Chain A
């Protein structure tokens, strides 16, 4: 893409700083987020991987490399790649029509549908797993398909969980896409399909590639879904690392797979960074008002309704389950949420866990937004040299890494590396929100960066040449445009934190569990009431998430951003 058209760019009045100075400034700005990620991510992962490489106090990489030659490792790696790849393709394929319909068409109730689509994303996998199995299992309504325990079920589950990422990331970008180039093409005789292929999709490419790379990483590191829906016959790299670490205690093999995972992820990120290349910043960013639904929109609307129906099926199973009491229906399971369950299985009632969850989510949200905001700013500012661009894209990839690394490796890494003052974080109450913010960080960056990257740098230069300070430039140029995606990112981070289970269950304290931890505890104990309560608590979690996301949608200001 020919972005550099220096002849057209009005030079700022001040002399541009030299490249090396700019890079130094860039690195200084990046220091804080890099430090955060270094301490909370690189250090623990390196510590855990090192456990595998060091045998009896000696560095022994040979044994680790031997692991990579095992046929089972190849099987596991291939299975991971093809299921995740297929699930990503499907998620994008069904997510694009939905993104269009829900963000560009005046469909009734579209805000509610957008909020509902995010619900699967936050439900604890063990609950969704049981709901899916109720549906697909031998006696379930869809049992005749014979999908239970097959790779098809795994792929369906992965798509179910991740469609929301595509719908939201691409939808927000689509919303602020200038319709005029498309209209111009249409006026010149292009068919709707040609407009889509030659104008719209290229403009959306950064958002599509960005969300696809996130979805792929989510799929490749999915844990609970694979175990629950695939049974024990199928292993992915992620589940294999878990088994090797906790059940078999083969740290060398676990380290080998972790390293393999990191290498693959780094390659993938590099690839997607190339594909993502910033769109033409001279394209105007406006907020297009949604338009009335036309007859020609029927395929898109039908596709969206199908996606919605497929999403709602497992959730409906949950809701019905939570309302069934003995032989009839009732709200007993919901009433029981203020109690500690059958045989006092919980230390705190579900309602108290909900409060903890909300407070934790607030913390995780501001942490993710703070770090993610700075990172997005850094990686999207226009580079003045090749070196500078390299530094920026390296940083960009670095902050995506947490998505691509096993939660088990990270969790145990926390225990063995952050255990000495001044970094003794093992007992800190902020550890859980920090871990959750780390999980949400890439989502925040991928939501904000495409939008920031789409702002024409000449606007900033113009503001600067008129005497605006950097802060003022940020407020008057960037903020009006990035405002809506920022709220979307808030909603994402909040929702991720509400539903996060892996890291939380590993790090949470017994006296203040979050809602997913409590649900897991309920479902792990026999007793009909406990199971019913787990379902009711899951429904509550889903409703709270939907309400929070809905509130974020409502708070969005449609007018701001338009000049």
Chain B
């Protein structure tokens, strides 16, 4: 009896001390957060050309730039950069659209040409002027005064060249080839409704086949095409070049992907350059931002050669500025398509819902 009591008392006191320790030492509230808790409401609301304060960037979860560059930006401009990244490109576009009258940040990066029309239509972006002008080929037909192109990437069908060599089969080259009997049960793609590369590939088929895209997709499915949820599933779950158990040597990925499958001086995969859809990512200043001057400085900074040259290795995308450098092995292993498929953003905006509904019907038939 006594023994039980002593044990109970000991346990209780050790529990209490653990609880106290964790509350004092480990809690976010007590343990001192990341130091950025005191976000000053920037003083520049007077409109004066006043520097300093924090500039907040809203972006998607793939955003990444080297710390050194960020520190240089902060040192040069006097602004503190705070990045708030969450969700994918679609989530970001929705966030910006819903908070158009009370923005969650000063600037935004990562809205692409498949989603741009939505936040633009909701009035989320303010007009912006940059000191450097990116090439006109990336500009949006509407809203070009508010969204500035920063990078571009092509979603292309990738093949496992090593697999095809081993099987003695010629790899496919075009979208039509994917429906060919020779490539039965070999192709896997993420879904248009659940994945942004999946959406891009779908738009490539819309651009290629116009209104008859449902027929093409029916052919694809009849030919054993597998549709999965996300890029991760397709690439790591089914693609022979990336998964031990993969059985499908054809997958939807990016034009830069072959640069990541290099072994022994050569890459084991290739992007089919006749199947690509070009995604362009934009940055802009948010309407009603606390720190519009800082936001504009940030957009300007993203067009500098330093940032542009860092994009390939940080985010697997290509810079838009001609003066930027691309890693040497990318030129060899990740050639870009010369004439990718495109769909007018206004057309995407007008049809997105109907297309996705029809696509889902075709898929679940």
Contacts and interface: CB of A to CB of B under 8 A. Distances in A.
Contacts of B97: 249
A511 B59 CA distance: 13
A140 B237 CA distance: 10
B133 interface: no
Interface string B65-91: 011000000000000001111111011
Given A511-B34, A526-B257, A531-B236, A412 B95 contact: yes
B245 interface: yes
Given A426-B104, A429-B37, A524 B228 contact: no
A329 to B, nearest CB: 13
B45 interface: no
A419 B233 contact: no
Interface stretch (B21-29, B160-168, B171-179): B21-29
Nearest to A224: B229
Contact of A526 (B193, B245, B316): B316
B11 interface: yes
A234 B254 CA distance: 26
Interface string A430-445: 1001000000000000
B263 to A, nearest CB: 9
A247 B316 contact: no
Given A249-B118, A359-B31, A419-B99, A228 B247 contact: no
A134 interface: yes
Interface stretch (A16-24, A175-183, A342-350): A342-350
Given A134-B245, A137-B245, A508 B194 contact: no
A363 interface: yes
Contact of A246 (B33, B94, B253, B357): B94
A247 B104 contact: no
Interface stretch (A29-37, A396-404, A465-473, A552-560): A552-560
Contact of A248 (B15, B61, B102, B356): B356
B23 A243 contact: no
B344 interface: no
Contact of B15 (A228, A362, A555): A555
A66 interface: no
Contacts of A531: 236, 242
Interface string A127-151: 0011001100111100100000100
A126 to B, nearest CB: 6
Contacts of B98: 51, 412, 415-416
Contacts of A247: 90, 193-194, 199, 352, 356
Given A133-B233, A245-B94, A555 B11 contact: yes
A359 B7 contact: no
B39 interface: yes
Contacts of A507: 86
A554 to B, nearest CB: 9
A385 interface: no
B51 interface: no
Nearest to B19: A366
A227 B232 CA distance: 12
B326 to A, nearest CB: 14
Contacts of B66: 344
Interface in A427-461: 427, 429-430, 433
B232 A231 contact: no
Contacts of A505: 61, 86-87
B313 interface: yes
Interface residues of B, number: 82
A248 B352 contact: yes
Contacts of A366: 19, 23, 27
B260 interface: yes
B245 A140 contact: yes
A557 B7 contact: yes
Interface in B179-235: 191, 193-194, 199, 226-233, 235
A538 B358 CA distance: 37
Nearest to B185: A138
A310 to B, nearest CB: 19
Interface residues of A, number: 73
Given A343-B313, A419-B99, A511-B83, A227 B194 contact: yes
Contacts of B34: 429, 509, 511-512
Given A133-B237, A510-B83, A510-B84, A149 B194 contact: no
Given A363-B29, A506-B86, A555-B11, A427 B64 contact: no
Given A138-B247, A232-B363, A247-B90, A227 B104 contact: no
Contacts of B36: 509, 511
Contacts of A126: 230, 232
Given A363-B28, A527-B260, A248 B353 contact: yes
Interface in A302-328: 321, 324
A440 B155 CA distance: 39
Nearest to B361: A72
Given A415-B99, A430-B28, A506-B87, A362 B233 contact: no
B329 to A, nearest CB: 12
Contacts of A526: 235, 242, 253-254, 257, 260-261, 316
A336 B257 CA distance: 22
A78 to B, nearest CB: 14
A358 interface: yes
A232 B227 contact: yes
B106 interface: no
Contacts of A143: 245
Contacts of B231: 524
Contacts of B86: 505-508
B8 interface: yes
Given A134-B245, A248-B353, A363 B118 contact: no
Given A506-B87, A528-B242, A555-B14, 7 more contacts: A134-B245, A228-B229, A234-B364, A246-B93, A344-B66, A430-B29, A557-B11
Interface of B: 4, 7-8, 11-12, 14-15, 19, 22-23, 26-29, 31, 33-34, 36-37, 39, 61-64, 66-67, 82-88, 90-91, 93-95, 97-99, 102, 104, 118, 191, 193-194, 199, 226-233, 235-238, 242-248, 253-254, 257, 260-261, 313-314, 316, 352-353, 356-357, 360, 363-364
Per CB-CB distance, the 8 closest pairs between chain A and chain B, nearest first, are A232-B191, A139-B245, A559-B4, A246-B90, A133-B237, A526-B260, A138-B247, A227-B229
21 contacts: A140-B245, A228-B233, A243-B194, A243-B356, A248-B352, A250-B353, A343-B314, A347-B67, A359-B26, A359-B27, A359-B28, A360-B28, A362-B22, A362-B27, A412-B98, A416-B99, A430-B28, A433-B28, A511-B34, A528-B260, A531-B242
Interface of A: 51, 72, 126, 129-130, 133-134, 137-140, 143, 149, 227-228, 230-235, 239, 243, 245-250, 321, 324, 343-345, 347, 358-360, 362-363, 366, 412, 415-416, 419-420, 426-427, 429-430, 433, 505-512, 517, 520-521, 523-528, 531, 555, 557, 559-560
